[in-house]
Structure 1
């Protein structure tokens, strides 16, 4: 099968996301860019993920967004995934979820999402994008702007979370730890014991991570 490798990565990741409770039903989507050709594998629209197979994973052109292969049409969020990959050459995988705690954390009154544990430090700061119609070029542009040159995760008000990484493992890690960060922030504030990591500790953790990744 053509593009089997990136299709398999998408399928494995979406099933993991379902098992972890990050994605329910047919909500959320995952995309992986081919390392050699300007094409992207992405989850199809409206297909239950638990019963999905490789042939159902859609293939789209990175430059135009044109649907090239796959039994079902690609996710309506193609513009958001492709815009991120075009803007960030370091990104080859993207994950969009509707996780409960990330969605809560995107509300204006929640406050800035803060790292509470060392693993969470890698993914801050987490920008927030105002609500924009899903699937639009406008939301794609706003997500790219909020991510900037190095961002790994953003929250989208009334919509969920969008994460990216150098590969699918990194993009999934960003998704998992950002949802965990939102959850720990929520419960810590609820219990009135909110004490995020000091900024100097966050900076130190990020420096260590950057050094490890540079080796």
Structure 2
């Protein structure tokens, strides 16, 4: 307990940054994943090809390499400058979006084909059909895998510690500089991550229970 109390400032700053990384990345990845997921099931071959290429390329690229690009390659492209925190958010969002896209695509495929045909029969185009008919039903079907992706995203935020972002993964290094035992610090970090994962699991159960009744 002394290790935690003596280094409370490190834990507060570290996990606050972790939550910032997680929250923004989750929002951006969900939006991008939704767009890519819709492209994956689009009737337009070009859109399907672009969506498939993006998913296959980014998902098969190690997250560390994506971080390396944004940490060392992006600044040399003479594009708008961002802090390392925002570059980490962009990297996490681009990477996680591929998994969310595949999760949503599987959800789209669970909706009976007759639903889309009925929507087209009353004059709805592809986008309104997806947003008003298919998507609400698909989201209910993919809550467990979607929350699993978010849990993986939460744990992936620790990669940012190797790229000058003071988040939870960097607490051990800063605490070691103060002479604290690394193993004890890591156990506390693991404990708080477990708490955060349990919160996400609780949200998942609540959503599943609520939407199961709604169906």
TM-score above 0.5: no
Which protein, 1 or 2, shows the higher relative CO under an 8 Å CA cutoff with sep ≥ 6?
A: 2
Q: Which is strand-richer, 1 or 2?
A: 1
Greater helix fraction, Structure 1 or Structure 2: 2
| Structure label with greater radius of gyration | 2
